[in-house]
Chain A
Amino acid sequence: MANSDILLFSSSPHVKSPKTTKWIMLNVCIALLPSLIFGIIYFGLKALLLVAVSVLSAVVSEFIYLFITGKKFDEIVKQFDYSSCVTGLLIGLTIGTNYPIYAPIFGSAFAIIVVKMLFGGTGKNIVNPAIVGRIFIFISFQTVITAYLSPNIASISGKTLDTSATALAGLLGQDGVQIFPNLSNWDLFLGTGLSGCIGETCKLAILIGAVYLACVGILNILYPIIYVIVCGLFTVLLNGFDFAFFLPSILSGGLMIGAFFMATDYVTTPNTKIANYIYFFILGLLTAGLRQATHMEVVSFAILLMNLTVPIIDKFIYHRPFGYYKPKKEAK
């Protein structure tokens, strides 16, 4: 066994790349920092506390799980690849500041232990752990939460949003009537005066993070853009070709953070380019359609559903080897 340090056995391809899982995950963490910073500016130090608790409990629950399964401490530290940090960050960023402090603890622990570790750890989960963690919190502690808090910074346009609902809730007609958000699109983009979750109100910060990820070559930025645009266009279509719906629908709710950081998880997206186009296209249709049908924010549920279809998509769409031709069916 001692030789394993000297000799490394691995299957082909033997390509050296700096892009290890650790490096990628660390970069995703960095890309999420702008959202976190804007979240703290908008919602105060409670936001930082919630996100920190979320990240900490995600990492701790991974450690505890590995410890129970009989790994030694230095082994655990050695294999630690920041992916649970990403999960914890995403869960922390997709809850509101009025959530109780135990909500992210339970959400992160559930996401890491049930969704990630029980399926075999990083890279083997069938759905995105952060999505499931968020949905767990959403289902479990919905009774505690009545409304999202509005941020400390007033809107540019000087108008205020009705505090009882988020911009999206009004847009989707959650209370039976469609109310157009009375904030300007710039407000929706910057998240000023907009109530919502810590990380999802400021779309500018999300885009900064996404551009960073695209620059270091982790994220193919085309995919989430397809998702967002299809979602917006389908909303327009469903509302009788009213293009006034386009920008508000893509700029409100959790669509941006879902598209750029959650849907694009390597593990839970298809393998080939064409399959990815199809995946994100259907995801856009599903999100817009379900939003219209349920009058709720369904980005996380839509991504969860599409995550489950990835194996099917991969089964039918795969790389044809060079020079491959379809074998002719034998005549009967």
Chain B
Amino acid sequence: MKKTNIKTIAVDGLITSNPTFKLVLGTCPTLALTTLAINGIGMGLAVTFVLICSNLLVSLLRKVIPNQVRIPAFVLIIATFVTVVRLVLDKFMPSLYSALGLYLPLIVVNCIILARAESFASKNCVLYSMADGLFTGLGFTFALTVMGAFRELLSSGAIFGVKLWDFEIAFFSSSAGAFFTFAIFIALFSYIESVVKKQKKIKDYAELVKLKEQSAFVGTTEAK
């Protein structure tokens, strides 16, 4: 069993169980909204906010909510915060609100949030649950922003709305391009992770060998 602390939660949420690249959750907004980097950030931050708040409440109420009605209770809590996000966005950021459109209310049924509530927040203390919400949300935001920036750069030659060059490959703004980009990024992410893991293993092994040599040396001196 892994020990739970803030550091493992952060690594888990951002890398080892990154919701988009490792768990492949919430693919619907991932595929549909990553046409622009700014959409990715907006959606990611909206989800992060809902995640933190819902994890907080679910964790607070984890001893009150009976096991039989936990899913309806979670959905109620999540739906409340999604509505809050919608109201706030409509009031203060109307352009982002209309860009996210239908996908904003759909956060309610986003499996990332339900999964974190079910598998983490309902079992852990408040502080850890909030940290988990924050880092999972940031992992999602990171994934969406990177994909959005890649697709925006190739499909319109701009990044965050700043035009860099006048050359576009419309393929990447189509839905086929969304699937393609998603696959490429999953592959890239897994590759980088495996390389890092391999390096770590080599390092660990070298340390182990060193330790063994030392203990062997100690053993021989003692025998003498």
Contact = CB atoms under 8 A, between A and B. Distances in A.
Interface of A: 102, 106, 114, 136, 139-143
B168 A143 contact: yes
A330 B100 CA distance: 59
Nearest to B171: A140
Contact of A106 (B169, B174, B176, B180): B169
Nearest to A142: B170
Output the residue of A139, A141, A142 with the most chain B CB within 10 A: A139
Tell me the interface secondary structure of chain B in the complex. helix
Interface in B166-211: 167-172, 174, 176, 180
A141 B154 CA distance: 12
Contacts of A102: 167
A139 B176 contact: yes
A139 B168 contact: no
Nearest to A114: B180
Interface in B144-181: 167-172, 174, 176, 180
A126 B63 CA distance: 53
A102 B168 CA distance: 11
A136 B170 contact: no
Tell me the interface secondary structure of chain A in the complex. helix
Contacts of B169: 106, 140-141
Contacts of A143: 168, 170
- 8 tightest A-B CB contacts, nearest first: A140-B171, A140-B169, A140-B170, A139-B171, A136-B171, A143-B170, A139-B174, A139-B170
A114 B212 CA distance: 47
A174 B167 CA distance: 28
Given A106-B169, A139-B171, A140-B169, 15 more contacts: A102-B167, A114-B180, A136-B171, A139-B170, A139-B174, A139-B176, A140-B168, A140-B170, A140-B171, A140-B172, A141-B169, A141-B170, A142-B170, A143-B168, A143-B170
Contacts of A140: 168-172
10 contacts: A102-B167, A136-B171, A139-B170, A139-B171, A140-B168, A140-B169, A140-B170, A140-B171, A140-B172, A141-B169
A139 B172 CA distance: 9
Contacts of B174: 139
Contacts of A106: 169
Nearest to A106: B169
Nearest to A136: B171
Output the residue of A106, A114, A140, A142 with the most chain B CB within 10 A: A140
B35 to A, nearest CB: 15
A143 B169 CA distance: 9
Contacts of B180: 114
Nearest to B169: A140
A102 B170 CA distance: 14
A330 to B, nearest CB: 43
Output the residue of B170, B171, B172, B174 with the most chain A CB within 10 A: B171
A141 B174 CA distance: 12
Nearest to B172: A140
A106 B168 CA distance: 11
Nearest to B174: A139
B153 to A, nearest CB: 14
Contacts of B171: 136, 139-140
Nearest to B176: A139
B184 to A, nearest CB: 9
Contacts of B167: 102
B165 to A, nearest CB: 12
A141 B167 CA distance: 10
Nearest to A100: B167
Output the residue of A136, A142, A143 with the most chain B CB within 10 A: A136
A20 B176 CA distance: 35
B179 to A, nearest CB: 12
A114 B167 CA distance: 21
Interface in B75-94: none
B175 to A, nearest CB: 11
A102 B165 CA distance: 15
Contacts of A141: 169-170
Contacts of B168: 140, 143
B57 to A, nearest CB: 45
Contacts of A142: 170
A114 to B, nearest CB: 8
Contacts of A114: 180
Contacts of A139: 170-171, 174, 176
A230 B214 CA distance: 80
A74 B17 CA distance: 42
B216 to A, nearest CB: 38
A105 to B, nearest CB: 11
A114 B184 CA distance: 10
A140 B176 CA distance: 11
A168 B176 CA distance: 26
A102 B167 CA distance: 10
Output the residue of B168, B169, B174, B180 with the most chain A CB within 10 A: B169
Nearest to B180: A114
A102 to B, nearest CB: 8
